[in-house]
Structure 1
Amino acid sequence: SELEIANKIGRSKNWVASIVSLKENGEDKLLSAVESGRIPIYIAVEISRAKGVDIQHLLLEGFNSGELNSKQIGAIKRILSQRETSGKGSDNNSFVQGVKKKRITSDELKELYQENVKTHKIIHTRSEFTISSLMVVKEIMVNLLRNREFSDLLSVESLNSVPAFILDNVDPARGLENE
């Protein structure tokens, strides 16, 4: 039951019910935003239930009350845009009569959580690889720019902005800054 799961993971029953609701409705993008701390869980649940203009009112209320800041609203708008293009969350059958919802078990929830952790680890590994690759590119660019012929070739081809962009924006702490 949700109460047992809540007790095992140290969360409230409502929190578990909200996570289950989002997962059952296919709201993976909203779940990801909640897990990363970009938006509060109750906002994600409200968004998953709301339609069109209701979402705009929800965002406006959240901003006016101080519950959401502009960064969170931007993140929510990106998620909503992704939902529209991918169709996620647009076919919400939770209020359709006659449609039986399958309750998620604790084992299924645990498996979903482990899959999510695995996915995040892969993303983190890829991110580290990308950052190290960018640092190699920056080092190569520094070495190439020491070569007078290479610098002259860049000038002739009007490509001076390319190395400047790489040198100015690649930072080992953040990777590529101007994303």
Structure 2
Amino acid sequence: MSVGGVVELRMIPVEQIAVLNPRDRNARIFEDIIGNIRDLGLKKPVTVTERANLGNGLRYLLVCGEGRLKAFKTLGQALIPARIVTASDEDAFIMSLTENIARRAYRPLELLVGIEQLRDKGYDKKAIAEKTGLSLDYVKGILQLLQKGEERLLVAAEAGRVPLNVAITIAGAGTDDKAIQAALQDAYESGKLRGGQLMQARRIIERRRTLGRSVAHRPTRKPVGMTSSSLVRNYQQEVERQRLIVRKAEFTQQRLLFVIEALRQLLADENFTNLLRAEGLETLPKQLADRVWSGGHPA
């Protein structure tokens, strides 16, 4: 990718800048950006390219610096320092994506979406690696998982919870529980998975099996296949659920007994019952009255 022309630096109106590749950002990080700009000023200008056909008073396409631009708007600033570059829509889009990927504080899915967008733009693995500064093997692995729709494994691999090559092996096993367990055992024995990573991998596989490969929604279809290990696991989960129900029932019963005893003592107080009668509250629901006056209602 090449960007031609002379780079110019000037102050431009924030309201004339259109955001090319908008993204959500962490609220705490955004507050830090606002605080830094308020206290120290803008250290790095935004980068824009001029356009004559954007409409609605917009004259510039934002290439890099969406957070800084939003911070300036939040602070009520009318003008912002900007580097004016000459770039085609395609080059501007690539520059915006690669800046997001190069950020130190990106979220895992942002990197994955960026790689996917570059692929959809027609760039091959080698070109994506060159433009993002990522290794060719890494890009190949990510694209392979993207092709299979393995979002859970992708996020885990990008965040370092599971090695990429292990994630690819798990994805290759599909939904075959035996093949997945064999892959985990091989990864552990070969040193690819250690300690906490093994537990993380097992948790991801469980969520992948029950909630699907995507992190965005629960699948409508039921998981297929049932192994002896999954049957035992489901049984243990059901036993624990029943135990929890019993504990909740016992706690509720204790609270009910406390309320009943408290009502008995209060209703034995003539002043209290006269007060209830004056307010028209002298009756109790039948189920509660039967428990409070198990020996019969006092005359």
- TM-score for the superposition, normalised by structure 2: 0.29
Q: Choose 1 or 2 for highest CA Rg.
A: 2
- TM-score for the superposition, normalised by structure 1: 0.47
Kindly indicate which of the two structures has a greater share of residues assigned to helix.
1
Kindly indicate which of the two structures has a greater share of residues assigned to strand.
2
- Larger relative contact order (CA 8 Å, sep ≥ 6): 1
